[in-house]
Chain A
Amino acid sequence: MANTFDVIIVGGGPAGYVCAIRSAQLGLATAVIERDKLGGVCVNIGCIPTKALLHSAYVANVVSHDAKELGVEVGPVKTDYGVAMRRSRRVSEQNSKGVEFLMKKHKVAVLKGSGVLGPNRTVRVGKEEYQARKALVIATGSRVKGIPQIGLEIDKNAVISSDEALFLEKPPATLAIVGAGAVGCEFADIFNAFGTKVTLIEVLPRILPLEDAEASDTVTKSYKKRGIAVRAGVKVKKATVAKDKVSLELDSNGKSECIEAEKVLMAAGRAVNTENLGLKEAGVQLTDRGFIKVNPATLETSAPGVYAIGDVAGPPMLAHKGSREGVVVAELVAGHHPQPIMYDNVPSVTYCHPEVASIGMTEDQAKERKLDYQVGRFPFSANGRARTANETEGFVKIIRDKKYGEILGAHIVGSHASEMIHELAVARQNEYTVEEVDLAIHAHPTLSEAIAEAALDSLGRVIHI
């Protein structure tokens, strides 16, 4: 039957398309339903274009602030957000084409349109009904959301989200960013480098509230030095949106103040795409928080043979977590016995400058759980390679369980932290202790030496400090 597949995946983002490839590899007849572009938010309006813009921001900062000291005179620096934006679009375009190619290569059918679930693993796309023999996988992802209650509804003009920020031709003169998680911090970095006067507002006491407090401190200092107004522990009480500006009424420790900005960028949380999906008809239940309810071991929903992966299946809402869930579901459906996902070992990365990357517990979490731990730290200011690159901001911090040497958590702030965290991800996945990390010889001079040194420091044996 033309409309029957072994596995049908609703949503072609990083969870869905990876699930499709793995299913096809395992010999299952697979289809992906995508209403927009393959690659989802990640490839088109998320991870990839923001990283392209962040690289532009990085180059802008290097030539403006460092080049002269490095012996490279470049004259007065002029930035053009429109050029950077169009380049980021080309990168996204290439990546989305890449996913299309991968679908073809693996003979995955791509069904264009919005999928609506019916009972017994059926799904309707337009007028066509499709039947999944083995598994129907929901991977519809999430989207940005505003806070209409206080007057901050995304109007795509004065109040924007990342969706719009990624397509601006010109940077605004002033920008207030509401929410200082990864997205908020990354856009603060980008627009600051392109000359915008940025105010970064976070209701929790510090920016990057999910990261270790020391990481937040280091980024805060770096941002303030670059002229970003960091306002943590500040609540937006009310917003008044005019045509070309927004007034925000702020409340910081009971004190009221008012700021104005040309635009407000909403970066406070995301909403999952669970509406108009036919979940009720399919018998798929939601959790109290609005995610799709799944069995954590199998990712199967309350409807037999219907699975949920990626953002819709619950936090952390990260592309790489979704991709892994896609692989696991494909293998389960093919009758394999994949290793369970270690949800406490999903790396978290913010690509601002300096970058922040972490895995496992923060020190505060270790403290809350009353664990007996020892912190090891090593600052990049003491690392040879970091000095050669003139990028000495940041540190490596390892939280070691005192009794068994387990790496409870690791936090890296610094240039290339996003690339360095995986040494510790591998270590934790394989249950290496800090001693195995130290025993592995680290090349000199590298930034990664700081990891080995932090491991040693947790044992009281640090060498270069």
Chain B
Amino acid sequence: MATKVVMEALSPTMEEGRLVEWKKQEGEPVAVGDVLAEVETDKAVMELVARAGGTLLKHMVEAGATVPVSEPVAVIGEPGEDGGATTGAGKANGQRTTETMRPQPAQAQGTQPAPDRTQPTSMPPAPPAGAASESSRSPAQQGATASRTPTVAPPAPGTRVKASPLARRIAAERGLDLGGVAGTGPEGRIVARDLESAGPSAQSAAVISLPSAKRPPVSTEAPYTDVPLTQIRKTIARRLAQSIGPIPTFYLTSEVDMERVWEAREALSTGQRGGQEIKVSFNDIVIKAVAMALRQHPACNAWWQDDHIRYWNEVHVSMAVAVEEGLITPVIRHTDQKRLQEIAREAKDLAGRARERRLRPEEYTGGTFSVSNLGMLDIDEFTAVINPPEAGILAIGRIVQKPVAEADRVALRRRMRMTMSCDHRVIDGATGAQFLQTLKRMLENPLALIW
């Protein structure tokens, strides 16, 4: 019996994946658990493993193709099995699946007479992404799609959402993007109960605002260059829109004297015996101080959950890491309970693997507060966008020597500006300010961290 291999949902928010590379070629034997291919999800590059053993009879998609979750990508069968018949069957099945799935958005919209109702519930189709994925389909399929949906542009596959009419109406009313909601109905269909806990910030988030390091390629001939959206860029766009839109954010800035942290770090670094100890960065110290300050101000260590606020008893600090295509926020769990050495080691490991895009989903979800640092890029101060459902994020600027009034004279001191973005639905002005004051005191007198 031939088994179809389907694109699996490899991250909580994944709706489609780009097949980066086949690791098993047609004709190769495969065992259960073997890596068949590398798949780029909206967050990372992950492995698609075999759920059945046998021989890989057929690749149903080429490397580079973008495939919606649960659509077939390959066929595994018995070594002696008639390849032609099996692959024929596999292909036919695949096409049938594709064809039955394609018209669905059109039907769904067809049942929604008022166009204004569907609009807010799904992201507008992104033309480049749509074009890119359409080109990976056969011309016949494109034709079929076009002829079936003459008036309604098919949403890009990445934004196709299965949801009940009621869920769509509730989402439209509340301004929720269903693309970020995990469905629990049949075949992952989003039903009303899935929206009960979904705020505008339903998912544990992976992104915050940082400029992308990579610039689009400059062309000398055309007036512009269209660059297809990558999975991570799509997610960033969706998540940021979600964040800046519905979250009533306010900002608090405080300047901290970093002389003592500087001295302490210098002293401890020179005293290091090398070997297992690694160098602790200023950012590591800020992360630790944030965690300790959150312990004293649990009101800032919380998630907005739409109909309730979840105050966390554990402290998990997310740290923004710029990666080639954007950014991601790996989480240092139980940050408050870890030594600086442990934080430094973990931060280094997570950041490294984030850049290689080798983070597992559980490593970049579940943070309770975020820290973003652009000091190394000479930024004095900035505001960061909240990483929902977290309620706060701290943006750290560079440490710079500047003249400061000190007991009737001017002294040169190392100073650092930090700006906290607060979700006002969770954190009030004074609450945020008190947290920031504690943090400032800790950094100005590092002994306070263990007081």
| A residues whose Cβ falls under 8 Å from a Cβ of B | 339, 403-406, 430-433, 435-436, 439
Which residue on chain B has the smallest CB distance to residue A428?
Answer: B166
26 contacts across the A-B interface (CB closer than 8 A): A339-B185, A339-B186, A403-B173, A404-B166, A404-B169, A404-B173, A405-B169, A406-B166, A430-B164, A430-B165, A431-B164, A431-B165, A431-B166, A431-B167, A431-B191, A431-B192, A432-B165, A432-B166, A433-B166, A433-B169, A435-B113, A435-B165, A436-B111, A436-B165, A439-B111, A439-B113
B185 and A405 form a contact (CB under 8 A): no
State in angstroms the CA–CA spacing of A405 and B117 once bound together.
13
Q: Which of B164, B185, B186 contacts A432 (CB under 8 A)?
A: B164
State in angstroms the CA–CA spacing of A405 and B113 once bound together.
14
Chain A residues with Cβ below 8 Å from B166 are 404-406, 431-433
Q: Nearest-CB distance from A70 to chain B (Å)? A: 41
Q: Nearest-CB distance from A118 to chain B (Å)? A: 37
Q: Nearest-CB distance from B109 to chain A (Å)? A: 12
Q: Nearest-CB distance from B9 to chain A (Å)? A: 14
Q: Nearest-CB distance from A296 to chain B (Å)? A: 14
State in angstroms the CA–CA spacing of A430 and B187 once bound together.
13
Is B400 an interface position by the 8 A CB rule? no
Scoring B residues 129 to 172 as 1 if CB is less than 8 Å from chain A, else 0, what string do you get?
Answer: 00000000000000000000000000000000000111101100
Chain A residues with Cβ below 8 Å from B185 are 339
Chain B residues with Cβ below 8 Å from A432 are 164-166
Having A432-B164, A439-B111, one finds 19 other A-B pairs with CB under 8 Å, namely: A339-B185, A339-B186, A404-B170, A404-B173, A405-B165, A405-B166, A405-B169, A406-B166, A406-B192, A430-B164, A431-B191, A431-B192, A432-B166, A433-B166, A433-B169, A435-B113, A435-B165, A436-B111, A439-B113
Chain A residues with Cβ below 8 Å from B186 are 339
Q: Nearest-CB distance from B190 to chain A (Å)? A: 10
State in angstroms the CA–CA spacing of A432 and B173 once bound together.
16
Within 8 A of A (CB), among B156-208: 164-167, 169-170, 173, 185-186, 191-192
A433 and B173 form a contact (CB under 8 A): no
Q: Nearest-CB distance from A126 to chain B (Å)? A: 43
Chain A residues with Cβ below 8 Å from B167 are 431
Chain B residues with Cβ below 8 Å from A435 are 113, 165
Chain B residues with Cβ below 8 Å from A405 are 165-166, 169
State in angstroms the CA–CA spacing of A436 and B164 once bound together.
11
State in angstroms the CA–CA spacing of A176 and B164 once bound together.
48
Chain A residues with Cβ below 8 Å from B192 are 406, 431
| B residues whose Cβ falls under 8 Å from a Cβ of A | 111, 113, 164-167, 169-170, 173, 185-186, 191-192
Chain A residues with Cβ below 8 Å from B170 are 404
State in angstroms the CA–CA spacing of A404 and B166 once bound together.
7
Which residue on chain B has the smallest CB distance to residue A435?
Answer: B113
State in angstroms the CA–CA spacing of A435 and B185 once bound together.
21
State in angstroms the CA–CA spacing of A404 and B121 once bound together.
14
State in angstroms the CA–CA spacing of A433 and B173 once bound together.
14
Which residue on chain A has the smallest CB distance to residue B114?
Answer: A435
Q: Nearest-CB distance from A260 to chain B (Å)? A: 54
Chain B residues with Cβ below 8 Å from A406 are 166, 192
Which residue on chain A has the smallest CB distance to residue B163?
Answer: A431
Which residue on chain A has the smallest CB distance to residue B164?
Answer: A431
Q: Nearest-CB distance from B224 to chain A (Å)? A: 42
Q: Nearest-CB distance from A210 to chain B (Å)? A: 25
Q: Nearest-CB distance from A297 to chain B (Å)? A: 12
Q: Nearest-CB distance from B388 to chain A (Å)? A: 24
Q: Nearest-CB distance from B194 to chain A (Å)? A: 11
Which residue on chain B has the smallest CB distance to residue A401?
Answer: B166
Chain B residues with Cβ below 8 Å from A436 are 111, 165
State in angstroms the CA–CA spacing of A435 and B112 once bound together.
8
State in angstroms the CA–CA spacing of A439 and B186 once bound together.
23
State in angstroms the CA–CA spacing of A435 and B164 once bound together.
13
State in angstroms the CA–CA spacing of A435 and B110 once bound together.
12
State in angstroms the CA–CA spacing of A436 and B186 once bound together.
19
CB-CB nearest 3 A-B residue pairs: A431-B164, A431-B166, A404-B169
State in angstroms the CA–CA spacing of A403 and B173 once bound together.
9
State in angstroms the CA–CA spacing of A405 and B167 once bound together.
11
Q: Nearest-CB distance from A437 to chain B (Å)? A: 10
Which residue on chain B has the smallest CB distance to residue A439?
Answer: B111
Chain B residues with Cβ below 8 Å from A404 are 166, 169-170, 173
Q: Nearest-CB distance from B322 to chain A (Å)? A: 39
Chain A residues with Cβ below 8 Å from B169 are 404-405, 433
Chain B residues with Cβ below 8 Å from A431 are 164-167, 191-192
State in angstroms the CA–CA spacing of A430 and B190 once bound together.
10
Q: Nearest-CB distance from A344 to chain B (Å)? A: 11
State in angstroms the CA–CA spacing of A284 and B173 once bound together.
46
State in angstroms the CA–CA spacing of A431 and B186 once bound together.
12
State in angstroms the CA–CA spacing of A120 and B113 once bound together.
57
Q: Nearest-CB distance from B306 to chain A (Å)? A: 16
Which residue on chain A has the smallest CB distance to residue B172?
Answer: A404
Chain A residues with Cβ below 8 Å from B173 are 403-404
State in angstroms the CA–CA spacing of A152 and B50 once bound together.
67
State in angstroms the CA–CA spacing of A107 and B340 once bound together.
65
Chain A residues with Cβ below 8 Å from B164 are 430-432
State in angstroms the CA–CA spacing of A328 and B185 once bound together.
15
Among B165, B173, B185, find the residue whose CB has the most chain A CB atoms closer than 10 A.
Answer: B165
Q: Nearest-CB distance from A162 to chain B (Å)? A: 38
State in angstroms the CA–CA spacing of A406 and B168 once bound together.
11
Chain B residues with Cβ below 8 Å from A403 are 173
Which residue on chain A has the smallest CB distance to residue B170?
Answer: A404
Chain B residues with Cβ below 8 Å from A439 are 111, 113
Which residue on chain B has the smallest CB distance to residue A440?
Answer: B111
State in angstroms the CA–CA spacing of A406 and B173 once bound together.
13
Q: Nearest-CB distance from A405 to chain B (Å)? A: 6
State in angstroms the CA–CA spacing of A439 and B114 once bound together.
12
Q: Nearest-CB distance from A461 to chain B (Å)? A: 12
State in angstroms the CA–CA spacing of A433 and B357 once bound together.
43
Q: Nearest-CB distance from B114 to chain A (Å)? A: 9
State in angstroms the CA–CA spacing of A403 and B170 once bound together.
9
Which residue on chain B has the smallest CB distance to residue A427?
Answer: B165
State in angstroms the CA–CA spacing of A433 and B163 once bound together.
13
State in angstroms the CA–CA spacing of A156 and B170 once bound together.
55
Q: Nearest-CB distance from B183 to chain A (Å)? A: 11
Which residue on chain B has the smallest CB distance to residue A339?
Answer: B186
Among A339, A431, A432, A433, find the residue whose CB has the most chain B CB atoms closer than 10 A.
Answer: A431
State in angstroms the CA–CA spacing of A44 and B167 once bound together.
42
Q: Nearest-CB distance from B161 to chain A (Å)? A: 14
State in angstroms the CA–CA spacing of A436 and B114 once bound together.
12
Which residue on chain B has the smallest CB distance to residue A337?
Answer: B184
Q: Nearest-CB distance from B382 to chain A (Å)? A: 40
Q: Nearest-CB distance from B314 to chain A (Å)? A: 26
State in angstroms the CA–CA spacing of A431 and B164 once bound together.
6
State in angstroms the CA–CA spacing of A440 and B291 once bound together.
56
Chain A residues with Cβ below 8 Å from B165 are 405, 430-433, 435-436
Chain B residues with Cβ below 8 Å from A339 are 185-186
State in angstroms the CA–CA spacing of A162 and B165 once bound together.
44
Q: Nearest-CB distance from B191 to chain A (Å)? A: 6
State in angstroms the CA–CA spacing of A401 and B171 once bound together.
15
